[in-house]
Amino acid sequence: MADKKGIPPIPDLPPEIIRAIENGKLIIFIGAGVSRLMGCKGWDELAKDLIRACHPEHVDFREKETLELERDHKKIITMCYHLLKGKGEEKKFYKIFDEALKKNPKRCKFFESQRIYDELAHLNAMFITTNADRHFDDFFMKERVYWEKEAFIKSNLETRKLFHIHGSQNSRKSLVFTVDRYIERYQDEAFRKFLTYIFDSGIYTVLFIGYGLSEFELLDYVIGKASSEETKGNIKKSCRHFALLPYYNEEEHLKDIHQLYYNHLGIKILAYRKNEKGYEQLFYVIRNWYDLQIRKTQLIPKTFEDIENFVIKL
């Protein structure tokens, strides 16, 4: 499947993931890159929209230019939120926030890629997302979608459940999008225990999709603490943590350099080539994995509840 040289368009599916699917022990973390395949805006675009919303009433042109140079988008979102809230314009912030999370097919070059959730929903896995949008929710029974922090406990971990660990549009008070809320969430002892159990129990295989380096930094502390000492700085043959990441064909050495960082987290990079289809190649990776390999071992739903969980609500 891989080219003789460079990054393959479709990476081989690790046997550890296949076994985890068979045993119902796969946990898939879904990041902002997946929502962007639905036409949602990224954190960078949301930050720019919020800066424009604050100009010229609350920031002058010079301040606007300075803020636009800031590369930490979550910092910008935090500042704009508190600025607008302090001016009594919190509704204005949420209007822009909600607009950024809407589907927009025109933003996607390849229409097929918008069906990525269709492919993911068929996997015998548990799903954890740091996204606040509701686009994946419709593939689950309502009672199997969680966003309140009280639900983030190990006894709730079952296949075909979805956890919004940074909150959901369904509940504004649950949302985690400002720096202070991130600190509060990741310092919460119960929440840390939930993630530690996932990464350190040795029970689950974890696959990250739709994440970039900046987003992994957010999870760095918790994952680093949760990873056992014997896995830190070294990828064992029986690695349980993987990340699908896009590279250009000639970036094989860059991928190897990035792997040095991911070694710290006990994560192995599964690289796929983005030369032809860009970031939307992620959809074709997931579809290929399911069609050519996972389908052969996919568990057949045996109960009415399992079948109902596969139904797409129109």
Same domain, residue pair 81 and 219? no
**Spatial distance between the Cα atoms of 51 and 95, rounded to a whole number of angstroms:** 14
Same domain, residue pair 148 and 136? yes
- Expressed as residue numbers, the domain containing 81 is 43-100
pTM for the predicted model, two decimal places: 0.87
The CATH number given to whatever domain includes residue 211 is 3.40.50
Same domain, residue pair 227 and 124? yes
Residue 150 forms part of a structural domain: yes
Residue 88 Cα distances to 76, 144, 162, angstroms: 18, 36, 34
Of 141, 128, 208, 131, which Cα lies nearest the Cα of 175?
A: 131
Same domain, residue pair 199 and 120? yes
Residue 144 forms part of a structural domain: yes
Same domain, residue pair 71 and 29? no
Token pair of 58 as six digits: 């609350």
Same domain, residue pair 301 and 179? yes
Of 40, 43, 28, 37, which Cα lies nearest the Cα of 270?
A: 28
Residue 4 forms part of a structural domain: no
pLDDT of residue 265: 81
Same domain, residue pair 58 and 195? no
Same domain, residue pair 119 and 71? no
Same domain, residue pair 113 and 253? yes
Same domain, residue pair 156 and 69? no
Same domain, residue pair 148 and 247? yes
pLDDT of residue 302: 47
pLDDT along the chain (314 residues), means of 10: 72 93 94 92 94 96 95 92 96 96 81 86 94 95 96 96 96 93 90 91 94 70 54 55 96 94 89 94 92 65 51 50
Token pair of 115 as six digits: 């069906």
Last residue of a domain, one of 100, 120, 138: 100
